[in-house]
Amino acid sequence: MQTTFSRFANLFKNLLGAVLLTISCMAGASPLDDARAAGYVIELPTGYVARTETAPASVAALVTDINQRRKEAYERIARKNGISTEQVAAESYRQREMPSQ
């Protein structure tokens, strides 16, 4: 029999996976991937992205858009699960930083 925490962890993991897929589709993964590959955008432990010092000014709009979309998604997940937006964002970062298996 699963504990309540175990069930919550599994539910959270499944929801997070769905959100990451949704975010990557909504955010236009290709421009973000391109900006990351060029060294213009970095992932922050807060679950958001930031423009690097070497990034052209045009990257600022991309970063703003990505962060707004992520915030909206994190808020939806947090409300559904009764947890904080910061918890969702931090878990999102951890999932992104995990090596592909």
Q: What is the DSSP string of 12-62?
A: HHHHHHHHHHHHHHHTTHHHHHHHHHTTSEEE-TTS-EEE-TTS-TTHHHH
Domain boundaries, the chain: 4-97
Q: Which of 48-52, 60-64, 68-72, 92-96 has the lowest mean pLDDT?
A: 92-96
Contact in structure between 24 and 65 (CB atoms under 8 Å): no
**Residue 54 half-sphere exposure toward CB, CA atoms < 13 A:** 8
Distance in angstroms (rounded) separating the CA atoms of residues 86 and 23: 16
- Checking if the pLDDT of 1 tops 70, the result is no
Distance in angstroms (rounded) separating the CA atoms of residues 99 and 55: 26
More confident residue, 27 or 46: 46
- Checking if the pLDDT of 20 tops 90, the result is no
- Checking if the pLDDT of 4 tops 80, the result is no
